[in-house]
Chain A
């Protein structure tokens, strides 16, 4: 069972504010999906290795050569707010 309180906890972890009404609706939705997902418990997976990725890739490196990059000016051109070439955010430390 997933409660409204659970949803509010997950919503904070996800950094998405939800009010009481939204949390209630989400609890119902998530409950339905999680019930469906329960079917995976029927399978015996004791000796199965997990797949995180389908390609047999390990430690992909490239040569350590200096290349042109975006640069501060281009990077902050898209900023919501910027000052002196930096991204400006609300107060972090109270």
Chain B
């Protein structure tokens, strides 16, 4: 097997025993990028040399792809949007500093849906990313570049961000492991904000052990992010015990109704049998407000986005445009033309939807109502976790869809996040891992959720499943 096809923990063993060097590992990854990325388009910006720190601990010299909305100092960071053309941040995101301190070798910025607005990575200004398992299909989104890079071995591991499923759904579509940590577990400083009460950075990896190792590197309190939790961080690698005897796992009945692909359902049922054999106890539960999650999300997330994206106005950095003819005043014309040319269709749609629901006369009917329904959705999970250690669901109702299939129908695109959005609204951690393939050869994802700050429980369940199946060992042939 080639070096770039190995996991980070396998590579770290080779480095420790001096069988391989960081340089040869980076070269193997770079060769894969050069050979494949014209086809896959997993990267928005590829770095010819590793981005690294000269005074790092050198403990984890693993090539990593970083989503294009996480700031890297003096390196193009563009949210895959025209409006951030040429933008090189003057500082690093906290997660980037932590990674560089640990010796990470950054390969570049992974492609994404523009400003993370999407579920297919089709809205990128740099063109769509393709699914390594089938180039006609989307990789999911919005962290589709991160997921595809890991699946195609164009990175050993990657960082993504998840506001409504943007790590987990592409992980599911690309057959990799993706974790959205608890809101507050990982600092958001330097993550270009989409919806500040929902966004969270997390790892995309080839297996569960790597997910735990990467979470170890990026977690913890940061005074630069006032919403990061001031709690101690456990060693997540210690959670991989393989012991799930007598754990109580809930299966929410609302996740198995109309719209779910029968192949997805069959695979989830088989996964439950695997975990039962290892001693876990399963029971059907109800999360009664599930059907309201997508509507709630599209009010709250777009409202927050309309506010967060107000800063892209042509004044300070990025793109600046002027209309040919005078419309209002020179400054207003500059704002309106810059944002007209700088944002793609989906970004405009979401900014306007958010502006509408926050505008005078509509605030109570939309925004305030959605905040109250968010409470009901969160309460459903609080109740469930009084009795259960974890909740198991599919990650997405279907496998990867075709490029262009949902591009003209925003609502059907939004509904592909129906199983992932609730975790963001409730702030709980959730992970997707491979649990099989459709007859067309496309990966299927299993989602494990736990109560806030109990990522250890998720790792324990997911790792046990993984150790008793072979799905994570199946490799893409390109």
Binding site for B on A (CB under 8 A): 2, 6-7, 10-18, 26, 29-30, 32-34, 36-37, 39-41, 43, 45, 48-55, 57, 60, 62, 70, 74-75, 77-81, 87, 89-92, 94
State whether A36 touches B335 (Cβ < 8 A).
Answer: no
Chain B residues whose C-beta falls within 8 Å of the C-beta of A92 in the assembled complex: 329-331
Q: Is B226 an interface residue (CB 8 A)?
A: yes
Chain B min CB distance to A28 (Å): 10
3 tightest A-B CB contacts, nearest first: A54-B427, A50-B371, A17-B336
Determine which of A16, A43, A52, A60 lies in contact with B373 in the assembled complex, contact meaning CB atoms within 8 Å. A43
State whether B320 touches A40 (Cβ < 8 A).
Answer: no
Known A-B contacts: A11-B352, A26-B349, A92-B330. Give 4 more (CB < 8 A): A15-B336, A29-B410, A30-B356, A51-B374
State whether A51 touches B226 (Cβ < 8 A).
Answer: no
State whether A90 touches B375 (Cβ < 8 A).
Answer: no
List 8 contacting pairs A-B, 8 Å CB cutoff, sorted by A: A29-B410, A30-B353, A48-B372, A48-B373, A51-B378, A78-B88, A78-B90, A94-B329
Given contacts A10-B352, A17-B337, A50-B375, are A70 and B91 in contact (CB under 8 A)?
yes
Chain A residues whose C-beta falls within 8 Å of the C-beta of B333 in the assembled complex: 90
Q: How far is the CA of A37 from the CA of B411 in the complex (A)?
A: 10
Q: Is B286 an interface residue (CB 8 A)?
A: no
State whether B184 touches A13 (Cβ < 8 A).
Answer: no
Q: Is the interface of A mostly helix, strand, loop or mixed?
A: loop
Chain B residues whose C-beta falls within 8 Å of the C-beta of A80 in the assembled complex: 314-320
Chain A min CB distance to B218 (Å): 18
Binding site for A on B (CB under 8 A): 87-91, 183-184, 197, 223, 226-227, 229, 289, 291-292, 294-296, 298-299, 306, 310, 313-320, 322-323, 327, 329-337, 339-340, 343, 348-349, 351-353, 355-356, 359, 366, 368-376, 378, 410-411, 414, 426-427, 452
Q: How far is the CA of A27 from the CA of B411 in the complex (A)?
A: 14
State whether B343 touches A57 (Cβ < 8 A).
Answer: no
Q: How far is the CA of A77 from the CA of B426 in the complex (A)?
A: 40
Chain A min CB distance to B469 (Å): 32
Determine which of B197, B310, B352, B359 lies in contact with A30 in the assembled complex, contact meaning CB atoms within 8 Å. B352
Determine which of A15, A18, A33, A52 lies in contact with B313 in the assembled complex, contact meaning CB atoms within 8 Å. A15
State whether B334 touches A90 (Cβ < 8 A).
Answer: yes
Chain A min CB distance to B267 (Å): 29
Chain A residues whose C-beta falls within 8 Å of the C-beta of B331 in the assembled complex: 89-92
Chain B min CB distance to A2 (Å): 8
Q: How far is the CA of A74 from the CA of B89 in the complex (A)?
A: 10
Chain A residues whose C-beta falls within 8 Å of the C-beta of B322 in the assembled complex: 90
Q: How far is the CA of A45 from the CA of B223 in the complex (A)?
A: 36
State whether B352 touches A7 (Cβ < 8 A).
Answer: yes
Chain A residues whose C-beta falls within 8 Å of the C-beta of B356 in the assembled complex: 2, 6, 10, 30, 34
Chain A residues whose C-beta falls within 8 Å of the C-beta of B229 in the assembled complex: 55
Determine which of A45, A53, A62 lies in contact with B369 in the assembled complex, contact meaning CB atoms within 8 Å. A45
Considering residues A6, A26, A45, A54, which has the most beta carbons from chain B within 10 angstroms of its beta carbon? A54
